[in-house]
Structure 1
Amino acid sequence: MVNNITESKDSLKWCSVSLADVISRGKRLEASVFDVEAKRARQIIANGKYPLTTIGGEKGLTTSYTGARFKRIWVENSDMPIYQPSTIVDIKPTPDGYISHLTQTNIDALRVHKGQILMTCSGTIGKVSYVSETLNDLIFSHDLLRIDCKHNVDQGYIYAYLKSKIGNKILLTNSYGAVITHIEPEHLSSVPIPNAPDEVKGKINDLVVESYKLRDESNDLIDEATELLIQELKLPPIKDFNVDYYKMDASVGTFSIKLSHMCGRADASYHVPIVAAIVEHLNKYAAEVTNIGDKRISKDIILAGVFKRTYVEEGYGYPFLGGKEITQLNPKTEKYLSKPIHKKRYEKELKVTENTILVTDRGTIGITTLVPKQWNGYAVSQNVLKLIPANEKIAGYIYIFLNSEWGNELVRRQTYGSVVDMIDNNSLASVEIPLLKNEDIQKKINGLALEANKKRYEAYLLEQEALRIMDEEVIYAR
């Protein structure tokens, strides 16, 4: 039986399936078992210009592997930070924690290497990244698929294919169109890919490699700006601050607070001694310590209200980002807010523009991002505070400080709530921020952050060009 796929005028999608398909899927008759779009994706590449090969398998373009399971021995700090698979899509990932040298596993086998393609294979599967300098030699947990290409020209090519809508849809489904729940290395032997000429592959590969080079450069600029901040304020690591505990030998941290210093807050987390130590240090080395709410620092801090969302299809709504997505260069969003229904709230509370600073306000508090140009006009969740800088001359500096471990500590001390941790616009406005004695250094820090953001936009454009070539010259080529 031929699996015909039809989309009617009223957008009702339907297809026919063979009896063998029904039996193989446990004799289930629900339409959701047979993904129409996945079957259509396979038809598109089958009818394409180039012959098909597979991503994995003996005759495929790659080899792949995951790590062996192991029991982690966690420590507070070491030279072995470990990263979760979900962070591969973050432009500057942060470690999940640190493991001890006593951990019984082959640590080197868990490291990823430049030129590899990484893929999440459990949980939220199918997220893809390319290993450049930023990720090179980092330790990731075992449940991450490491893909090695047999030829270098295939690295960026396969990455772009797996990032494309058609390629990703095929990856996440089997030949029957059923959504898979876990990816093993052998699964890639059944994932077809057009085998384009090296000339076409090379164009795509070069764009992807250059895109990731720009991301590396942007991260280097962020690190340089942060190091300037550290040098100017003579900031020691958090663990090296002298913290005044009431009883040093107590099993838990104990400290006393004067009634005049309570600020209306009786929760101990607000008064942790490390915060007082940081603020005292800033006052010693900064020209002035003010607050984020100072009009020299910010025009406004927007806390969006909770609302019922009405989603529509792509092209008919505002692209909608959640707090977990703001650390990515080009978040894959499948949520679009209805323009007619949400326009007023969008304009007032949700819309972001370049160089707005985003700070997560619940769950994981204090994740900070400087909005890049490609997000202009996006809608961002009510779970993220929108900090509007006073001007462009201070925007990058604010971001660098809040994104540092010292700034993040000052943000998180504002946390309140019993079941769900959160902060609000008033909390963020109260966060201390230093103004530097050396104004030229402050300007340089600001400029480095803004330049990093520009490089991320350029990286985005290069990746979009690679995806365009993949679609027009490979997937849909006839």
Structure 2
Amino acid sequence: MKVAERGNPARREWLSRQGLRLDAKPYLSGSFATHRLLEQLPVEKVPLKEVTAGHAGGLYNGPQFRRVYLNDPEHSVPFVGSKDMLVADFSALPRLRKADAETRQLSYLRLEPGMTLISCSGFNAGRRSYARPDMAGYWSSQDVIKVVPDTQRIGAGYLHAFLASRFGEALVRGTVYGSAVKHIEPHHIEDLPVPRFGDAVEKEIDELVQEAAELRAEFQADLDAATRDLFRTAGIEDLLDLRWHAEGRDLGFAQSGISATSLRALNFQPRAREILKRLSSVEHVTLGEVCAGGRLRTGKRFRRVEASPEYGVRLIGQRQSFWIRPEGRWISADQAPDDILQQDETVLVAAHGTLGENEVYGRSVMVTGSWLEHAFSQDFVRVVSGDSAFPGAYLFAFFRSEAAFRVLRSMSVGGKQQEYHTTLLREIPVPVLTEADRDRITATVRSAYKKRDEADRKEDCALAKLEEAVTSEA
């Protein structure tokens, strides 16, 4: 249980400044300590609302509205919610009907590069993200506050760095209210003090954040290019534009040749069988053959033993493995099985969950670079190639595709919580291609992940420079 510091008790004047809120959150979150620290800085501080511009003064979320989702890119727009804004790869975003998005009531929810996004409802309330260049033309939900910088007065990257820093986090989270469902409203954050450190400091921080955003956009573009390259080179590019829902539901079909392997209708759904037929029509090897001598199984179940960061490892679960920056708990690696740590270029497939369209079950990530430091829960299939001709980066270019996602979903077994049928999983066809083609695709994926690590490094550097600017003036 949190208690107030003896030398820093909650004061009557604080209640007035918080609109007479009587819950403990703002007084114990570090928000007031941060306010006092910033007040003491011998630099200019301006309210957040004075460095924003645009609709509603540049601080707004949106109205509740009925969402109609489509799959056709011509008639829909990518739609970002309070959880989706945290992910690194936007290729699986839901798509909102364009006719609705472009109406007068919703058109201002269109995202533009340079916005800072703050989740304002639910479990993730208070988290921040940056609208990178490739997010132009995306739409956001009403559960995301848009902070639109007035670029004539402040750099978009600098403003985001402050809001993303530990100082901004304390200030933003101090405004969260609610019990079961957390909330933040735009007027709660409009007076947050933003310190100004002069053009030289702010420009350097701004450029680092902008460069990180551009690298993350390139990361996305490279992954998409690698997957397109693989399917086009294999001669199955029709699977790139997979209109899964447009093909109708799998009702009233017959299946012959049933064996004891499976009797579940889902495992024989015609739409998935057509994808498997197309994959098998080109030169291929099975996933089981590729992973012979490697690994193809979920992790071992284990008891989590809490540890401090200096003695433990960060444990990443299914949902957070897709985020730009994970926030998993810290556990003792000594008290866990060896398979929580992954080999370079291990492909992790989310292996437990339900069949909801926006669930991560069936989606894949690759572990390389700085993410090798993290531990991963048992809720992933570890796909480790045992054949050097099929490196993990090449396999990931295949597994991140919509075709692979639908095939994996069709191999589900279980009741409420689904997982994969191990025999069917080993039979997935993987296109072979030539050695030169595989090397090219592998290089593209590896380059993408290097850019992602470089983006993280630049963002960390920006936050460190902001921290230094604050503490040197304190």
By the TM > 0.5 criterion, same fold?
A: yes
- Work out whether residues 215 and 456 of structure 1, in 8 Å CA contact, stay in contact via their aligned partners in 2: yes
| In structure 1, C-alpha distance between the alignment counterparts of 2:66 and 2:269, rounded to whole Å | 32
Pick one of 302, 319, 332 that aligns with 1:307. 302
Deviation at 1:85, TM superposition (A): 2.9
Letter in 1 for 2:462: A
Where 1:422 maps in the other structure, the secondary structure is: strand
Pick one of 24, 38, 44 that aligns with 2:37. 44
The verdict on how the C-alpha distance between 1:183 and 1:32 changes in structure 2, with shifts beyond 3 A counting, is closer
Is 1:413–2:410 an aligned residue pair?
Answer: yes
| In structure 2, C-alpha distance between the alignment counterparts of 1:262 and 1:372, rounded to whole Å | 39
CA deviations on 1:447-478 (whole Å, 9 max, x unpaired) are 11111111111111111111111111235543
| In structure 1, C-alpha distance between the alignment counterparts of 2:259 and 2:376, rounded to whole Å | 34
Deviation at 1:222, TM superposition (A): 1.2
Query: Aligned residue for 1:54?
Result: 47
Where 1:257 maps in the other structure, the secondary structure is: coil
Letter in 1 for 2:349: V
Deviation at 1:52, TM superposition (A): 2.2
Query: Aligned residue for 2:270?
Result: 273
Where 2:391 maps in the other structure, the secondary structure is: helix
The verdict on how the C-alpha distance between 1:430 and 1:155 changes in structure 2, with shifts beyond 3 A counting, is same
Deviation at 1:136, TM superposition (A): 1.0
Query: Aligned residue for 1:10?
Result: none
Is 1:74–2:69 an aligned residue pair?
Answer: yes
- Work out whether residues 349 and 380 of structure 2, in 8 Å CA contact, stay in contact via their aligned partners in 1: yes
Letter in 2 for 1:271: F
Deviation at 1:161, TM superposition (A): 1.4
| In structure 2, C-alpha distance between the alignment counterparts of 1:264 and 1:179, rounded to whole Å | 44
The verdict on how the C-alpha distance between 1:4 and 1:258 changes in structure 2, with shifts beyond 3 A counting, is closer
| In structure 2, C-alpha distance between the alignment counterparts of 1:406 and 1:36, rounded to whole Å | 45
Q: For 1:337-352, what aligned pairs fall within 5 Å after superposition?
A: 337=331, 339=332, 342-346=333-337, 348-352=338-342
Query: Aligned residue for 2:88?
Result: 91
Query: Aligned residue for 2:330?
Result: 336
- Work out whether residues 349 and 382 of structure 2, in 8 Å CA contact, stay in contact via their aligned partners in 1: yes
The verdict on how the C-alpha distance between 1:271 and 1:252 changes in structure 2, with shifts beyond 3 A counting, is closer
CA deviations on 1:32-76 (whole Å, 9 max, x unpaired) are 6731533333333233352322222xx345522223332223345
Letter in 1 for 2:362: G
- Work out whether residues 71 and 103 of structure 1, in 8 Å CA contact, stay in contact via their aligned partners in 2: no
The verdict on how the C-alpha distance between 1:181 and 1:351 changes in structure 2, with shifts beyond 3 A counting, is same
Letter in 1 for 2:129: S
Deviation at 1:173, TM superposition (A): 0.4
**TM-score normalised to structure 1 length:** 0.84
Query: Aligned residue for 1:171?
Result: 172
Letter in 2 for 1:359: V
* Bigger Cα displacement from structure 2, 108-117 vs 178-187: 178-187
- Work out whether residues 110 and 137 of structure 2, in 8 Å CA contact, stay in contact via their aligned partners in 1: yes
Deviation at 1:224, TM superposition (A): 1.5
Where 1:301 maps in the other structure, the secondary structure is: strand
The verdict on how the C-alpha distance between 1:336 and 1:409 changes in structure 2, with shifts beyond 3 A counting, is same
Letter in 2 for 1:336: W
Pick one of 319, 323, 331 that aligns with 1:324. 319
| In structure 2, C-alpha distance between the alignment counterparts of 1:53 and 1:199, rounded to whole Å | 18
| In structure 2, C-alpha distance between the alignment counterparts of 1:4 and 1:477, rounded to whole Å | 26
| In structure 2, C-alpha distance between the alignment counterparts of 1:180 and 1:468, rounded to whole Å | 33
Letter in 1 for 2:319: K
| In structure 2, C-alpha distance between the alignment counterparts of 1:469 and 1:427, rounded to whole Å | 51
RMSD: 3.3
| In structure 2, C-alpha distance between the alignment counterparts of 1:27 and 1:211, rounded to whole Å | 38
Query: Aligned residue for 1:127?
Result: 127
CA deviations on 1:402-422 (whole Å, 9 max, x unpaired) are 101111122212211111122
Where 1:134 maps in the other structure, the secondary structure is: helix
CA deviations on 1:138-158 (whole Å, 9 max, x unpaired) are 122233211111126421112
Stretches of structure 2 that go unaligned for 5 or more consecutive residues are 354-358
Pick one of 369, 372, 381 that aligns with 1:376. 372
**TM-score normalised to structure 2 length:** 0.85
Query: Aligned residue for 1:209?
Result: 210
The verdict on how the C-alpha distance between 1:305 and 1:175 changes in structure 2, with shifts beyond 3 A counting, is closer
Sequence identity percentage: 20
Stretches of structure 1 that go unaligned for 5 or more consecutive residues are 7-13
- Work out whether residues 355 and 392 of structure 1, in 8 Å CA contact, stay in contact via their aligned partners in 2: no
Query: Aligned residue for 2:286?
Result: 291
Query: Aligned residue for 1:11?
Result: none
Where 1:193 maps in the other structure, the secondary structure is: strand
Deviation at 1:163, TM superposition (A): 1.5
The verdict on how the C-alpha distance between 1:115 and 1:227 changes in structure 2, with shifts beyond 3 A counting, is same
